[in-house]
Amino acid sequence: MKATAKAHTNIALIKYWGKRNESLILPMNNSLSLTLDGFYTTTSVEFREHLLEDHFLLNDHVVAGDEYYRVTRFLDLIRDFSSKPNLYAEVNSINKVPTAAGFASSASGFAALAAAATKALDLSVSNQELSRLTRQGSGSACRSIYGGFVEWEQGKQDDGSDSHAVQVAPANHWDVRVAAVVLSSKMKKVSSRDGMKRTVDTSPFYTSWVETIPNDLDQIKQGITDRDFEKVGRIAESNCLKMHATTLGAEPPFTYWHDTTLAVMHMVRDLRASGVPAYFTIDAGPNVKVLYLPENEETVQNTLRDVPGVTDVILSRSGQGVTYI
Ligand code: DP6
């Protein structure tokens, strides 16, 4: 009753921002991401007869509090799915995601946990079922089941039975790279979960944001099929700006951007003006991810490193979906 799985994190090019059902984690819109090989979580799960509760170690430290409860609640879902509802587990996760620098690990974390826990209980689940289960741990994590370019289909059913990810193109379809620009070691102040809820509940810009998604999705998928970097980058960047604009209309208003976030955004535009195609996207934190092509790797990396306030630039390629070790 033990298994180990590895999952990579993903960066959304068309953002998931808002839920229509908070307990089942059903989104308001489809989203689309690229799985990244540079950031991942490896998790072992062992169900043991004598345990009275779950134990969770993250990077060799015991985890308690909210983070622990999110994991045990998620394991409850998997236990319910199996014929062994009263078995507890030892969970041991190693993150190769710089969480202290504000990078989210929930995507790779819940994908690896779902894969390892279902395997440990010998449940035969398809990737689609695994993606549906993973979604209930953290929405964006359901995309990390697959490699390459991945779409999370919001689904229409109230029970979430058709809300899961599908692969749009595998990792080897196109060598697009991502530079993760680390700006701050502070933890983010508004979590993505709270931030999207506040936006849905209070921002007058929210409806217009949702209305623009279908067209952005059609366009970006065409761009991915055609390997049209300019098109994919342009749409990803504008989709990110629209998502962040909704937060400024929320009550109380908030933004994830720091001054260095803006400095990096300007630098990416300067790169483009000098003839280097590069585009940015930003999630629920101050760090910036920059999309670029392999031939421009050195220029992009050196330029971003030189921006005052940038502490690190971590390069990533397109990554694979969940694997078992
Ligand atoms: C801005 O998946 O972290 O990164 O479903 O509440 O766990 P929960 O939220 P989460 O939100 C991610 C938001 C985002 C955009 C994205 O990844 O699509």
The pLDDT tens digits of the residues spanning 18-45 come to: 999 999 999 999 999 999 999 999 999 9
Give yes or no for residue 192 CB within 6 A of ligand 1. Answer: yes
- Residues 115/7, Cβ–Cβ less than 8 Å: yes
CA 38 to chain centre: 13
52-56's contacts with Cβ under 8 Å and 24+ in sequence apart are: 52/88, 53/88, 54/88, 54/89, 54/90, 54/91, 55/88, 55/89, 55/90, 55/91, 56/91, 56/93
- Residues 243/208, Cβ–Cβ less than 8 Å: no
Q: Give this prediction's pTM.
A: 0.96
User: Could you tell me the domains of the chain?
Assistant: 2-173 (3.30.230.10), 177-316 (3.30.70.890)
Please tell me the distance from the alpha carbon of residue 247 to that of residue 203, in angstroms, as a whole number: 7
Protein residue closest via CA to atom 11 of ligand 1: 192
Please tell me the distance from the alpha carbon of residue 186 to that of residue 85, in angstroms, as a whole number: 39
- Residues 228/176, Cβ–Cβ less than 8 Å: no
Give yes or no for residue 301 CB within 6 A of ligand 1. Answer: no
CA 185 to chain centre: 19
Report the DSSP beta bridge partners of residue 62.
57
Output the CA 51–ligand 1 centroid distance in Å.
Answer: 32
pLDDT of residue 183: 87
Please tell me the distance from the alpha carbon of residue 120 to that of residue 73, in angstroms, as a whole number: 17
Q: What is the pLDDT of residues 238-278, one digit of tens each?
A: 999 999 999 999 999 999 999 999 999 999 999 999 999 99
pLDDT of residue 146: 98
Q: What is the pLDDT of residues 70-129, one digit of tens each?
A: 999 999 999 988 887 789 999 999 999 877 666 778 899 999 999 999 999 999 999 999
**CA proximity to 54, closest of 78, 37, 41, 71:** 71
**Could you give the ipTM of this predicted complex?**
0.99
SS3 312: strand
Question: At 110, which amino acid appears?
Answer: F
Q: What is the pLDDT of residues 115-170, one digit of tens each?
A: 999 999 999 999 999 999 999 999 999 999 999 999 999 999 999 999 999 999 99
pLDDT of residue 184: 62
Please tell me the distance from the alpha carbon of residue 256 to that of residue 138, in angstroms, as a whole number: 19
What percent of the chain is modeled with pLDDT above 90?
90
pLDDT of residue 126: 97
Atom of ligand 1 nearest to the CA of 11: 17
Atom of ligand 1 nearest to the CA of 27: 5
- Residues 154/140, Cβ–Cβ less than 8 Å: no
DSSP 43-62: EEEEEETT-SS-EEEETTEE
Pairing of strands 55-58, 88-96: parallel
Give yes or no for residue 139 CB within 6 A of ligand 1. Answer: yes
Give yes or no for residue 193 CB within 6 A of ligand 1. Answer: yes
